[in-house]
Amino acid sequence: MQNIILLALLSWCSLEDVKQKKLTVLYILMFGVGGMFLHMVAPVCSIFSILCGMLLGLALIFVSMVTRGSVGLGDGLLLVVTGVYLGGSRNLELLMIGLLLAAFWSLGLVVVKKKKGKQEIAFVPFLLISHVLMILGGV
Kindly state the average pLDDT of the residues 108-131: 84
Which of 119 and 14 is assigned the larger pLDDT? 14
Asked if the model's pLDDT at residue 135 lies above 80, the reply is yes
Model pLDDT, residue 23: 87
CA-CA-CA-CA torsion sign (126, 24, 41, 7): negative
Asked if the model's pLDDT at residue 24 lies above 90, the reply is no
Q: Would you list the domain boundaries of the chain?
A: 2-136
Model pLDDT, residue 77: 93
CA distance 85 to 6: 7
Asked if the model's pLDDT at residue 138 lies above 70, the reply is no
Kindly state the average pLDDT of the residues 29-45: 89
B/e letters for 19-44, b = 16+ CB within 10 Å, e = fewer, are: eeeebeeeebeebbeebeebbeeeee
Which of 120 and 106 is assigned the larger pLDDT? 106
Which of 74 and 131 is assigned the larger pLDDT? 131
Averaged pLDDT of the chain: 89
Model pLDDT, residue 73: 87
